Amino acid sequence: MEAAGNGEHRKGLWTVEEDLILMDYVKVHGKGKWNRAAKFTGLKRDGKSCRLRWMNYLSPSVKRGAFSEEEDDLIIRLHKLLGNRFLFNLDIRTPTSCAFGQNELWWSLIAGRIPGRTDNQVKNHWNIHLSKQLGVKGKYKIGDSSSEFSKKPEGDFNIKSSSNDRLIPSNKTEAELQNVLEGSHEKAKEITSTQEPILTSDFYDPYLYAPSLMELLDESLDFLWHDF
């Protein structure tokens, strides 16, 4: 790989030596302040590159190797939950639905529920493997009403096969899951109807609803994750 145009920062794949230098730095100074890390270590990388390398590869919490069936299944479930149940079907024409539903993919949120996997890993895995496996044409985007994914019938997700049954919490049934999701939908409506959006000059600030909705979403995800 060649250096960047200004000759200051290297680009491309990291070498073993660079990895070791960055790991040593983090060992001593901890994570964060990546720009300073880049300067301090003498690495010819920018801070963003250092951060990305650590978060996606060097961090001990990152799990390497192939995704398990359980992980695949969970990704599919979460993707479905975030895309079709919670967000896309949240048929409220408010700033919130715009903020959370239009062309947004919450890979970080999904990845956060899969121990050891990064958003980048999950995103790549979805785009390369799972989207094909599910017959999704192109790259699915939450909020894209024309996407093949959003039109998929329930049964096509292969989430009820015997090998995957354990992914449903032992003390909860699909019907209960449905109830929780419906409840989330209702709660979300409530939140968006009771919280006054603040109107700035000529647009709503969509993120003003975020905290309540994020908590609500987390509750729904906890339901999925609980008892694993």
Partner DNA sequence: AAATCACGCAACCGCAGTGAT
Partner DNA sequence: TATCACTGCGGTTGCGTGATT
Binding site for DNA (CB under 7 A): 1, 4, 10-14, 32-36, 45, 47-49, 51-53, 55-57, 64, 66, 103-109, 119-121, 123-125, 127-129, 139, 141, 207
Q: Which helix (H) or strand (E) holds 136?
A: none
Cβ proximity to DNA: between 123 and 172 the closer is 123
Instruction: Report d(CA 75, CA 114) in Å as an integer.
Output: 8
Q: Is 61 helix (H, G, I), strand (E, B) or coil?
A: coil
Task: Name the minimum Å distance from CB 216 to DNA.
Answer: 17
Residue type, 205: D
Smallest separation, CB 22 to DNA (Å): 11
Q: Which of residues 32 and 165 has its CB atom nearest to DNA in the complex?
A: 32
Instruction: Specify the residue, 34 or 209, whose C-beta has the smaller distance to DNA.
Output: 34
Is 159 in contact with 75 (CB distance < 8 Å)?
no
**Nearer to DNA (CB atom), residue 43 or residue 168:** 43
Contact yes or no for 159/77 (Cβ under 8 A)? yes
What is the length of the chain? Answer: 228
Output the smallest distance, CB 179 to DNA, in A.
Answer: 27
Q: Which CB atom, from 129 or from 152, has the smaller least distance to DNA?
A: 129
In the complex, minimum distance from the CB of residue 165 to DNA, in angstroms, rounded to a whole number: 26
Nearer to DNA by Cβ, of 34 and 157: the residue is: 34
Q: Which two tokens stand for residue 138?
A: 């192109």
Tell me how many degrees the CA angle 50-53-57 measures, rounded to the nearest 5.
155
Minimum distance from CB of 173 to DNA (Å)? 29
Q: Phi first, then psi: what are they for 39, rounded to 5°?
A: -70, -45
Distance CA 182, CA 180 (A): 5
| Integer Cα distance of 33 and 23 in angstroms | 14
* Cβ 105 to DNA shortest distance, Å: 3
